[in-house]
Structure 1
Amino acid sequence: MNVIVAYVPSEYVDAVVEAMAQAGAGQIGNYRACAFKVPGQGQFQPMDGADPFVGSVGELEKVSEVRVEMVCANKQTRATLEALIAAHPYEEPAYHVLKARTLADF
């Protein structure tokens, strides 16, 4: 089991969460699309060669984003990451994958 953590512009959160759920993330028992969402502020500065969705090359940009966390079975992690990337509006979405442990692991 893994936990996928992604940083998503506020207005795209629902679409990204649903795309990840369609790929298999967020399944906990008899529940689907389970996600934890925390609002925050992201920042980035596009460099030469970037094609930013928001902002301009060379300018520091600060945007309202949401940290989304969803559990994901190991065998569905790649498909879920592909769905995340396809649904996310940024050229280079920020995400990471954490190894999750459950009660069965102890």
Structure 2
Amino acid sequence: MEELHYKLCFYVPASHVEQVKTAIFEAGAGHLGDYDCCSFQTLGQGQFRPLPGSKPFLGEQDQVEVVEEYRVETLCLESCLQAVISALRLSHPYEEPAIDLWKLERLPGIH
């Protein structure tokens, strides 16, 4: 039986995008066939307001902060998923990084 694949998506400030991608690639993310370090990234703006008790990397408590961030998408096998998520969290500057994860299905007609 073929191993499950996941699509991993996260948001990271422009200042740390390469650092975080390097960490997740070294942990096993980004493989597609005979290629590695595969990802797609889109530049945009994120916003958040640090609440009392937070220790924000950027901004101040109770003030809305708008930040230039990249949305990064990549692939990950189930066998390295825990290591990749751990590497992402350790290398990411935010105390609460936004992370999305989708379990992928095989495309019909592809073996």
Q: Does 1:26 find its partner at 2:30? A: yes
- Residues 64-75 of structure 1: matches in 2 within 5 Å? 64-75=68-79
Q: 2:97 aligns with which of 93, 96, 99?
A: 93
Q: 1:43 to 1:73 in 2, by over 3 A?
A: same
- Residues 1-106 of structure 1: matches in 2 within 5 Å? 1-103=5-107
Unaligned ranges ≥5, structure 2? none
User: What is the aligned length?
Assistant: 106
* Partner Cα separation in structure 2 for residue 105 and residue 25 of structure 1: 25
Query: What is the percent sequence identity of the aligned residues?
Result: 41
Q: CA deviation at 1:3?
A: 0.6
TM norm structure 1: 0.95
Q: CA RMSD in A?
A: 1.4
Unaligned ranges ≥5, structure 1? none
4+ long deviations beyond 2 Å: 101-106
Q: CA deviation at 1:102?
A: 2.9
* Partner Cα separation in structure 2 for residue 46 and residue 105 of structure 1: 47
The code of the aligned residue for 2:17 comes to: V
Give the greater-gyration-radius structure (CA). Answer: 2
Q: CA deviation at 1:103?
A: 2.9
Q: CA deviation at 1:101?
A: 2.2
